[in-house]
Amino acid sequence: MERTVKSYRDLVAWQRARELVKEVYLLTASFPIGERFGLVSQMDRAAVSIPSNIAEGYGRSTTQDYLKFLRIARGSAYELETQLVLAVDLGLCDDARARRIAGLLQEVIRVLQGLVTALERRIEG
C-alpha cells in the first residue's frame, strides 16, 4: 500500500534524517569544549543540512530543483559519515555509538537514493 505524501514531513527520508540530527547533537554535546568550533560545528551543520535540504527541495517548483536539493542532502550525509569516522579516529566516539549512528545514517542515504531514483525515473518518462 503506497502512502500519499502531502508534505515533506511525510517522507521517510526526512523523518529518519530528523532522528539522525538528534543523535548527532547528543553525540557532539559530549565532545570536549575545544571541539566546539571544529568537529562539533561541522557535524552539527552537516546533520542539520540533511532534513533541511529535503524540506527545501520539496518546496521547490520543479522536480529538477527537488532533485538538486536531495542530492545536496545526500552529499551532506556522506560528509557526516566521514566526520563520524574522524570522531572515532580521534577517540571522541566509541565504536558502539558510532555503529548505531552509522546505521541510521546508512538508512538515510538508502532512502534518499531511492527517492532520487524514483524522481529521475519520473523525469525520464
Residue closest to 54 by CA, chosen among 125, 113, 2 = 113
Q: Which amino acid is at 119?
A: L
Predicted confidence at residue 119, as pLDDT, reads 94
pTM for the model: 0.93
| CA 95 – CA 89 distance, rounded (Å) | 10
* Identity of the residue numbered 37: F
Confidence of residue 8 (pLDDT cuts 50, 70, 90): very high
Cβ neighbours for 52, distance < 8 A, ≥ 6 positions apart: 73
Which amino acid type is present at position 50?
A: I
For position 1, what pLDDT does the model report?
44
Q: For the domain with range 8-124, which CATH number is right: 3.90.79.10, 1.20.1440.60, 2.40.50.180, 2.60.260.20? A: 1.20.1440.60
Residue matched to cell numbers 527537488: 66
pLDDT tens digits for 57-70?
Answer: 999 989 999 999 99
Please, are residues 66 and 58 in contact by the beta-carbon 8 Å criterion? yes
